[in-house]
Structure 1
Amino acid sequence: MPPLTRKPTMRDVSRLAGVSTMTVSRVLADPETVSRETRSRVLAAVEQLGYVPDRVAGSLSSRRTNVVAAILPTLTNVNFADTAHALTEVLRPADYQLLIGYTMYRLDEEERLLRAMLPRRPDAVVVASSVHTKTASQMLLRAGVPVVEIWDNPGQPIDHAVGFSNYEVGRAAAHHLISLGHRRIGALGPGRDGEARDFRGEDRMKGFAAALREAGLSDEWVLHFGDVPVAFDHGRQSFAAMLERAPDVEALFAVSDISAWGALMECQRRGIRVPDDLSLLGFGDFDFGRQCVPMLSTMGIDARAIGTAAGELLMRLLHDDSGAAAAPERIDVGFRLIERETTAPSRKRRKNGRKSS
């Protein structure tokens, strides 16, 4: 057979192996149904020609593409990367591939990605958001495949959800700082203007502010500052802005460990002792928080558990042959307070000889 100057087809494989195209299809889809000798000839022809099966064309009959679309806010955040990695580990043994897009926290970009991905007929969609444009919501509702919203626990998910309550994370963070005896308490989060929005971070800030009010404390130092996504410099700049408003602030919650680290570095530049002069609490349990000095207290989330739970849920849904629509599932992976070295009882409580439990 002369060398091909075009993309090889299944018919080319069948001619080279001396079998029918149906036999080639069976070898690729269910090799145990074909004799070892025939299977070897077909696989040798596949390798010689460099043939790659057309999954989309094959899905016309099977209705499966073995592709799961995943839409994340960013690929630079290690927590989202860990979630994607864990999701891939669950899907790979079943021969599912992850098609990843990222939105940079823009709703219009999520909508654009859905318009690009859904025509490729993914078998499922995983999206790290529970806030969508009206059009995007309609596309997800009408996709005809399982949809899993992750990294949140929405009251009314599109279909299924795997995550936790960002609002309750904020409340728990405030309760912890209050329990340490702090009364002038603030929070550092991203701005709420512009095309990019971190709605999960905003929910954490809302929960934090609500807990302060419930305790009879002011929420005037819950500061929304800067752009999304937050960077280390966000912590430095937002903390500087906080000190202009409340130079005697006693404790801070940062919407991300990234911001918390920036604030910690600014404290060191200004000679503010953490936690003696200021308690600092982050979110996300990033690895650098365990390495910095002092080690960062944080609200911990198991990013890998989110990916694993979403993958296992999809495996159940995609291999359910009953034909019945699956009831929506909401899986809460929870969160936890991780106390390290940047939070401590207030100076007033220490002077009175009281310690936190």
Structure 2
Amino acid sequence: MKASAITPPDGPMRMSDVARIAGVSLVTVSRAVNQPDKVAPATLAAVRAAIDTLGYVPNQLAGGLASNRSRTIAAMVPTLSNLVFSETIEAMSLALNARGYQVLLAQTNYCAADEVRIVDTFLGRRVDGMALMGITNEDVADKLRRAGLPVVQTWDFSSAAIDMQVGFSNADAGHKAGVYLAGQGHRVVGFIGADERRSRLRLKGFRRAFSAVGGQVVVSLAPPPAGVDTAAAQLADLRRQAPAMTAVFCNNDLLAAALLFECQRLRLKVPQQMAVMGFGDLPVAGACWPRLTTVSVPRRRMGEVAAELLLRRLAGDPSASTVDLGFTVVPRESA
């Protein structure tokens, strides 16, 4: 190809310029931008090389009007400060990006009013689908059902699912954590976490396990997101409620790791005087000492499956799906 043939023209780049440089038709360029999985790899590479050469930015609004697709998926997370959600979002984004979709991300701050505002904004932008890391507002759920777009909920199961679900049962995970600690001989135990839906579900299951053995569960719930900053005060709260307490189940690993530091400051031996159990199996769980006993959940796989479900629906599969990825109790030295 002659050098003059790849000289960017004056003024805004157009799709016709990309077609000329790549040696393909306008239709092929449009398909490469909006439906890359339907273009031969060599042709797709030529179009993308031309786009890079020209610095062309596709008009997504025009493409969306033509195809009735915006090529965007909206995702709502309760908070960006909790690392457990980041791997799910990253894995989902990578899978969607590979199929030509971009992810728009918003934080709800565990606030029902924010959920309403964010969903209205996303629906106004005509997103092709939505991924939710939980939802607290039933009005929002009803609105999404009426909107008719693909929706996948992650990190929990609901008996009144909006559409599709992928994750695990938080109540069952809490129950298994309780069964594990009860099996270690603990009968007076504590639970610390945030005052939000997933935390309360884990607490419900945890209480069920100790009710079965005649145990006692004391609770400290902080405004979400509970984490490193709340651990010391929450442990003090539990010890005031039950001085005989011998174990604490924490709603996330960061909270549990902070609790280990607080036990060290108080000269409480772990696990001899105070067993500590976390949730999530974040990298910190295996890096701290004593290493954290925790509940491992498939954070990345949740994102990958969420993307698969959305893509399947966008490809015309009308069926709703619930995918249970389960969880695993991981015993380590802290309990």
Q: Aligned pair in 2 of structure 1 residues 259, 47: CA closer, same or farther (>3 Å)?
A: closer
Distance 2:39 2:182 in 1: 67
Distance 1:216 1:123 in 2: 50
Distance 1:319 1:231 in 2: 40
**What percent of counterpart residues are identical?**
33
Q: Which of 155-164 and 58-67 deviates more?
A: 58-67
CA contact (8 A) 1:255 1:282 kept: yes
> Which amino acid in structure 2 is aligned with residue 115 of structure 1?
D
CA contact (8 A) 2:69 2:128 kept: yes
SS in 1 for 2:278: strand
2:199 aligns to what? 201
CA contact (8 A) 1:188 1:222 kept: yes
The offset of 1:133, in angstroms, is 3.9
Q: Aligned pair in 2 of structure 1 residues 306, 17: CA closer, same or farther (>3 Å)?
A: closer
Distance 1:305 1:312 in 2: 10
1:87 aligns to what? 92
SS in 2 for 1:283: coil
Distance 2:305 2:224 in 1: 27
Q: Aligned pair in 2 of structure 1 residues 213, 43: CA closer, same or farther (>3 Å)?
A: closer
Distance 2:270 2:259 in 1: 10
Distance 1:148 1:209 in 2: 29
Cα deviation per residue 1:202-245 (whole Å; 9 max; x = unaligned)? 111121122222322233x1222x22101212111100111122
Measured on the aligned residues, the alpha-carbon RMSD in Å equals: 2.8
The offset of 1:17, in angstroms, is 7.6
TM-score (normalised: structure 1)? 0.82
Distance 1:301 1:40 in 2: 41
The offset of 1:83, in angstroms, is 0.4
Distance 1:41 1:336 in 2: 46
Please say if 1:223 is aligned against 2:211: no
Q: 1:150 aligns with which of 134, 138, 154?
A: 154
Q: Aligned pair in 2 of structure 1 residues 146, 181: CA closer, same or farther (>3 Å)?
A: same
2:334 aligns to what? 342
CA contact (8 A) 1:27 1:33 kept: no
Q: Which of 272-281 and 101-110 deviates more?
A: 101-110
1:273 aligns to what? 269
The offset of 1:163, in angstroms, is 0.7
2:5 aligns to what? none
Distance 2:301 2:48 in 1: 41
> Which amino acid in structure 1 is aligned with residue 278 of structure 2?
G
Larger radius of gyration: 1
Q: 1:214 aligns with which of 209, 212, 215?
A: 212
1:348 aligns to what? none
The offset of 1:274, in angstroms, is 0.3
CA contact (8 A) 1:108 1:133 kept: no
TM-score (normalised: structure 2)? 0.87
Cα deviation per residue 1:157-178 (whole Å; 9 max; x = unaligned)? 0001001110111111111111
Q: Aligned pair in 2 of structure 1 residues 115, 274: CA closer, same or farther (>3 Å)?
A: same
The offset of 1:30, in angstroms, is 4.9
Distance 1:253 1:314 in 2: 34
Q: Aligned pair in 2 of structure 1 residues 47, 150: CA closer, same or farther (>3 Å)?
A: closer
The offset of 1:42, in angstroms, is 11
Show structure 2 runs of 5+ residues with no match: 1-7
Q: Aligned pair in 2 of structure 1 residues 203, 14: CA closer, same or farther (>3 Å)?
A: same
Distance 1:41 1:184 in 2: 65
SS in 2 for 1:94: coil
1:159 aligns to what? 163
Q: 2:57 aligns with which of 48, 52, 55?
A: 52
Distance 1:182 1:42 in 2: 61
The offset of 1:144, in angstroms, is 2.1
Equivalent pairs, count: 320
CA contact (8 A) 1:281 1:298 kept: yes
> Which amino acid in structure 2 is aligned with residue 24 of structure 1?
L
Please say if 1:293 is aligned against 2:289: yes
The offset of 1:266, in angstroms, is 0.9
Q: Which of 160-169 and 93-102 deviates more?
A: 93-102
CA contact (8 A) 1:71 1:101 kept: yes
Distance 1:126 1:18 in 2: 38
Q: 1:330 aligns with which of 319, 322, 325?
A: 322
Q: Aligned pair in 2 of structure 1 residues 73, 340: CA closer, same or farther (>3 Å)?
A: same
Cα deviation per residue 1:314-343 (whole Å; 9 max; x = unaligned)? 2222112x6xxx232110110110000111
The offset of 1:81, in angstroms, is 0.8
Please say if 1:73 is aligned against 2:69: no
CA contact (8 A) 1:130 1:157 kept: no
Show structure 1 runs of 5+ residues with no match: 193-197, 344-357
The offset of 1:41, in angstroms, is 10
Q: Aligned pair in 2 of structure 1 residues 218, 288: CA closer, same or farther (>3 Å)?
A: same
Q: Aligned pair in 2 of structure 1 residues 268, 83: CA closer, same or farther (>3 Å)?
A: same
Distance 1:139 1:262 in 2: 39
1:188 aligns to what? 192
> Which amino acid in structure 2 is aligned with residue 340 of structure 1?
R
Cα deviation per residue 1:109-129 (whole Å; 9 max; x = unaligned)? 122111111111111110111
Q: 1:317 aligns with which of 303, 313, 320?
A: 313
